[in-house]
Structure 1
């Protein structure tokens, strides 16, 4: 059976009783994950044996026979938990995969229930609505915002701050498009300029993910939550009150709105780049190293900790890892090619003469002025031109290693920008 090659996510509208049962199933699936993980660790440490889905299947059958709350969860969903745990272990042991050891799932973890494809059925009601049949629940309506366009291989029900959603893994059988023959470009992802394309003269800036009043309200809710958690630990033995849970739900609603706006900009950006360019060069960034905390230790405290914290928030808000992941599959889909190049000195290298000099960009400002040839340009645009030149130099091979040697550069045709024009554009 062919695997899913496309994902579709829709807004689900369950009845109150159905929503309560889905929430209970989500906690059951989370508890089963932790129990299965603990069992695997215990058996390996005590007996040197490795358990998998086949080995834990009989224990799952016994648990469903003895515990009603486990039996209430559909058997297919419980087996999906063990399959996901198998996949997590496989990713951990794969040296080419970045995943770490499978993590425990706490109570505050995102609620999600997975179903195999043969356990669900979808039927269309009208142009905008459809319903899905879930085991033990029956038919549940969801908003049909786009067509499925294939055969369902798996499904998952989850809840975030905005409500319930259902996701389908669909097999469409679509083959990668032929090379589109579009122009090449380099893209510099940053904080002040979300993305600067080498073939453009102006940066693409992501709109604020939270409005000023929303940011102010989020800060007030975070402060209220801190006070309520302190009170609960001091007077209620750590038990959360209804007011505290209501505050947490309000925070989650704002955070979900922020994530949706960020995802909307990211999808529009990556789709436009993949559709209109034949080759895209980006930096092979190590986001985890870039956002490492600077607080240090008690003996060796860090410096400029608050400034580094703000920079880390700006980097993560622009989601460079998510952009690269989306470009990887969209380039295959639209006949483009993605090349990751070493990021060293792209912001200090002159795209005109190829000389590397930190003094060409004093104070890490928006202006790049080469001290050797006198070339002036926006710093991010200069970096994007350098990224494109390095991508051309690789000859179409993706770079996953670091390299400090200078590469041959082919400056892209562009409009020269003077120092006065840059200062006027950026105030």
Structure 2
């Protein structure tokens, strides 16, 4: 399990953590460049064990690399190994490892053996970081297990420390509660088949915050133009303050989105025996409509707005959370094919595009006359498919259903590793 807490370093500690974060980014890029070069030139696959030996030599010659704790540098190389393992795994959706930009979130990874944690009082605790000493963090909940890995990161709000904890827990026994189907959408964030009304995610920012974000974005554009014209692109203090203010608002929006997602997935896993969802291909759903120069796309702006709305509801993150929360609370997650769920009548099982005219919220079956909210009708169809796939079959859900076969693409192995 993961545990994340707000970290409060001193100014000197914050300065050191910032430098370490950029060092970790530079080390990742250098290690990735070395692996790509060796593969292109010699077809040799380099791993972290071999690079750690060269890391010892580099720390003796480079002062900025020696200032980073050796455990953090070794952890960066292990993470690069994991990134390649995910890329080589044909069942994993990860692509090839990418170089990290300077604008990326600053983070410092450490193994669990390199840190110690002590409790100061009921609300505060401290973590001892190599070469940094004890750093205070807000003990908002008990750690509840042995620490396996640690990551110190910074976002627009401040510094955080995350612990990977081995709790020793096992999957719970089936809770025996009735199942449900959930339709994740844009107008209705989540429509549960057993509920009469949809669950709508509140806006991430209030109207005043949205207006302030718009003003800050305009100010940032003006300041960047001025910097390019008069300062050769160098960022000034005012521009950095503007960027920090935008990051704070974005972080606040992300935290509110995460709060709604966790509450939704926890409630679904706790109160249902199985949860049926659509097996969505989010990457394909949110692909750009720009096209090419020879064949430009149409309605590019509208598609971009739809993509933002889909990603704001984070269907992929909801599925990831349901996968482990269902095991914790004795539920079962069933992903069913998503084809024709919005055009299938939940009453008679007939598929007809005429039953769903346009993108309206009304579903009116042209065969049996059944009328319902389009998203609720889809959630009922998802529940029926989930019952046939892995739940108990009832009289109302005995329609014949055959799942299609999906191509998983070319299997990637070490021998077929492409150049990054």
Q: What is the TM-score with the length of structure 1 in the denominator?
A: 0.91
> CA–CA distance in 2 between the matches of 1:300 and 1:37?
35
* Kept after mapping to 1: 8 A contact 2:29/2:99: yes
Q: Which moved more, 1:232-241 or 1:339-348?
A: 232-241
Equivalent residue, structure 1, for 2:197? 202
The DSSP-based 3-state class of the residue aligned with 1:147 is coil
Equivalent residue, structure 2, for 1:13? 8
The DSSP-based 3-state class of the residue aligned with 1:321 is helix
**1:138 matched to 2:140:** no
**1:252 matched to 2:247:** yes
> CA–CA distance in 1 between the matches of 2:365 and 2:41?
64
The DSSP-based 3-state class of the residue aligned with 2:390 is coil
**1:77 matched to 2:75:** no
> CA–CA distance in 2 between the matches of 1:332 and 1:222?
43
Query: CA-to-partner distance for each residue in 1:210-235, whole Å, 9 max, x for gaps?
Result: 11111111122112222222222232
Choose which of 312, 318, 321 in structure 1 pairs with 2:313.
318
Equivalent residue, structure 2, for 1:288? 283
Q: What is the deviation of 1:101?
A: 0.7
> CA–CA distance in 2 between the matches of 1:240 and 1:396?
58
> CA–CA distance in 1 between the matches of 2:400 and 2:23?
55
The DSSP-based 3-state class of the residue aligned with 1:192 is coil
1:52-201, aligned counterparts within 5 Å?
Answer: 52-201=47-196
Choose which of 390, 395, 401 in structure 2 pairs with 1:395.
390
The DSSP-based 3-state class of the residue aligned with 2:262 is helix
> CA–CA distance in 2 between the matches of 1:408 and 1:287?
24
Unaligned runs of 5+ in 1: 1-5, 398-405, 410-427
* Kept after mapping to 2: 8 A contact 1:186/1:197: yes
Q: What is the deviation of 1:292?
A: 1.1
1:289-304, aligned counterparts within 5 Å?
Answer: 289-304=284-299
> CA–CA distance in 1 between the matches of 2:378 and 2:400?
14
Q: What is the deviation of 1:13?
A: 0.3
**1:240 matched to 2:235:** yes
> CA–CA distance in 2 between the matches of 1:94 and 1:395?
26
**How many pairs does the alignment contain?**
396
Q: What is the deviation of 1:408?
A: 4.5
Equivalent residue, structure 2, for 1:422? none
> CA–CA distance in 1 between the matches of 2:217 and 2:125?
38
Choose which of 265, 274, 278 in structure 2 pairs with 1:270.
265
Higher relative contact order (CA 8 A, sep 6+): 2
**1:356 matched to 2:360:** no
Q: What is the deviation of 1:365?
A: 0.6
> CA–CA distance in 2 between the matches of 1:317 and 1:37?
31
Q: What is the deviation of 1:296?
A: 2.1
Equivalent residue, structure 1, for 2:35? 40
* Kept after mapping to 1: 8 A contact 2:334/2:390: no
Q: What is the deviation of 1:240?
A: 1.4
**1:330 matched to 2:311:** no
